[in-house]
């Protein structure tokens, strides 16, 4: 189902599926499979935690590894123990993610301006 959503997002649905090589479809499948939350969703989540609307206990889930006790919220990943989480926090992708999250959240005005719908001031 996610694959279909992603194909419609890429506007691939106007082409028959036979237009794409196996490798293109494989690439799309893995991009969908490994897709994490977007930066603005994580910024919203961090704001909710700061305001107390969301707590650490909301992430507890017996179905995920480690019971959801060791969560990296910026990367939206769950780790099996505190050691694995500590090692993850030293990695490059995590640090890159933190840098992206520290930037100001984009707004609808910014999106309109990019599409050429901005107002002259």
| Tokens (6 digits) for 87 | 């090692």
Tokens 């179905």 correspond to 63
Residue 89, by phi and psi: left (phi above 0), alpha (psi -120 to 50) or beta?
Answer: alpha
E strands in the chain: 70-72, 77-79
We find the least distance from the C-beta atom of residue 64 to Zn ion, in angstroms, to be 15
Q: Closer CB to Zn ion, residue 34 or residue 119?
A: 34
How many other C-beta atoms are found inside a 10 Å radius of the C-beta of residue 42?
19
Q: Tokens 């897709």 identify what position?
A: 35
42 binds Zn ion (CB under 5 A): no
User: Could you tell me the smallest distance in angstroms from the CB atom of residue 76 to Zn ion?
Assistant: 8
Would you count residue 54 as binding Zn ion (CB under 5 A)? no
Report, in Å, the least distance between residue 97 CB and Zn ion.
Answer: 6
Task: Tell me: does residue 75 bind Zn ion (CB under 5 A).
Answer: yes
User: Are the CB atoms for 35 and 3 separated by under 8 Å?
Assistant: no
CB of 89 to Zn ion, least distance (A): 6
Cα 42 to Cα 55: distance, rounded to the nearest angstrom: 14
- Residue 94 touches Zn ion, criterion: CB under 5 A: yes
For position 72 contacting Zn ion by CB under 5 A, the verdict is: yes
Q: Is residue 84 a contact point for Zn ion (CB under 5 A)? A: no
The yes or no reply on residue 64 touching Zn ion (CB under 5 A) is no
- Residues near Zn ion (CB under 5 A): 72, 75, 94
């Amino acid at each position: 189902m996610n694959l279909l959503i992603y194909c419609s997002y890429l506007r691939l649905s106007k082409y028959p599926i036979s237009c794409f090589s196996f490798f293109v479809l494989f690439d799309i499948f893995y991009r969908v499979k490994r897709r994490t939350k977007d930066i603005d969703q994580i910024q919203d989540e961090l704001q909710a935690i700061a305001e107390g609307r969301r707590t650490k206990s909301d992430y507890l889930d017996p179905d995920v590894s480690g019971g959801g006790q060791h969560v990296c919220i910026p990367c939206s990943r769950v780790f099996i123990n505190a050691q694995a989480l500590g090692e993850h926090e030293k990695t490059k992708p995590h640090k890159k993610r933190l840098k992206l999250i520290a930037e100001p959240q984009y707004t609808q005005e910014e999106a309109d301006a990019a599409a050429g719908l901005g107002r002259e001031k």
